[in-house]
Amino acid sequence: MKKTGLLLLLMMTATFAAPQQSTTAVTPDADGIVHTAVNVPFVRFQTPTAADIYCAGFITKDRIPDANYVNGGLQTPTATKFEIGELVYLAGSGYQAGQLYSVVREIRDVNEYEIYPGQRKVLAAAGRPYGEIGRVRVVDTRSHSAIAQVELSCDPINPGDVVVPFVERPPVAFHVPGHFDRFAPANGKLTGRIVLGKDFDSELGTGMKLYMNMGSNQGVKVGDYFRVVRSYESTLKDPVESLSFEAQTSEDTQVRPPTFEADRFQKTKGPNIHVRDLPRRAVGEVVVLNVTPTSSSAMVVFALEDVHAGDTVELDDQQ
């Protein structure tokens, strides 16, 4: 009898412990979308800080005048890199005590490698890349070289870095959390391309900076949000990513295994899958930090997966 009671107790416990299936009906919205955490997740967007805004770098068609530049520091020649709090010397003219100056550097990719096909041509059309290295305040102008103290150090300041008058930039407003439609169709708004990542990075995550080939000439302004989207056709054209399409994708037990992009001379047993039929997917969101006439600097504020240099960007209609 005791054994029977124990068995019944165990059966009742197992019944209540078993996961209960939801009986709630899934109702699509007016656009035919069933919202789930997979296709329309609820996300939070990172807000750029002052350091993000002033250290992003930029691309410009106009060459920055280089008559004023850093020509040394207090510990020259034993020190060649200077950071926050240190004293540096500035060559050139027009300096005023108490004034702020930005330190910038025209940069180049020493690897000379195209991250995506046609990158050099796209980048040349957008302009020259510049890094924003820091900010200094002039404290003494009595000698041939002005003396300044480093107040912001994005990267170590080097002799030869260019000095230009500091220009204050507006902050970026907070973006309230919301739903991110991963498979949203094209909205017909302004589109462009990520031409380069800061520090020549090819894969970017939340908080990282990038440059797009649209600027004030196209109506882009600070605080605009762009959605980063990627098609499977672009993956097929990538020299590295496309290798996965050539790998074995079928299961050994499939009688009619599929083939990706088989040509008319290729014999196939199963369906011929065309990547153009697959939906484009949104991979992240970026916000504009700074604009020039032909380009804009932006920061990744949310990413579901890596954002790539070469990805397409589309002005978000939910600002």
In a domain, 175, yes or no: yes
Give how many domains the chain has, as a whole number.
1
- pLDDT above 80 (res 280): yes
Asked if the bond preceding 165 is cis, omega within 30° of 0, the reply is no
Which candidate, 120, 127, 148, 136, places its Cα nearest to that of 213?
A: 127
* Residue of 4 and 245 predicted with greater confidence: 245
Q: How far apart are CA 82 and CA 73, in angstroms?
A: 7
In a domain, 29, yes or no: no
In a domain, 275, yes or no: no
pTM recorded for the entire structure = 0.85
- pLDDT above 70 (res 264): no
Which candidate, 7, 60, 28, 4, places its Cα nearest to that of 292?
A: 60
- The 3-state DSSP class for residue 1 equals coil
Q: What is the pLDDT of residues 222-239, one digit of tens each?
A: 999 999 999 988 888 777
pLDDT at site 64: 95
Please check whether residue 311 is in contact with residue 116, taking contact to mean a CB–CB distance below 8 angstroms: no
Neighbours of 97 (CB within 10 A): 13
In a domain, 218, yes or no: yes
Q: How far apart are CA 8 and CA 2, in angstroms?
A: 10
Please check whether residue 230 is in contact with residue 304, taking contact to mean a CB–CB distance below 8 angstroms: no
In degrees, rounded to 5, the angle at the alpha carbon of residue 229 between the alpha carbons of residues 279 and 227 is 130
Q: Which range (139-153, 171-185, 206-220) has the least confidence?
A: 171-185
- pLDDT above 90 (res 205): yes
In a domain, 219, yes or no: yes
- The 3-state DSSP class for residue 297 equals strand
Range of the domain at 184: 42-231+280-315
pLDDT at site 20: 47
Averaged pLDDT for residues 86-92: 97
Q: What is the pLDDT of residues 100-150, one digit of tens each?
A: 999 999 999 998 888 888 899 999 999 999 999 999 999 999 999 999 999
In a domain, 274, yes or no: no
- pLDDT above 50 (res 1): no
In a domain, 124, yes or no: yes
Q: How far apart are CA 176 and CA 145, in angstroms?
A: 48
- pLDDT above 60 (res 202): yes
In a domain, 131, yes or no: yes
- pLDDT above 80 (res 172): yes
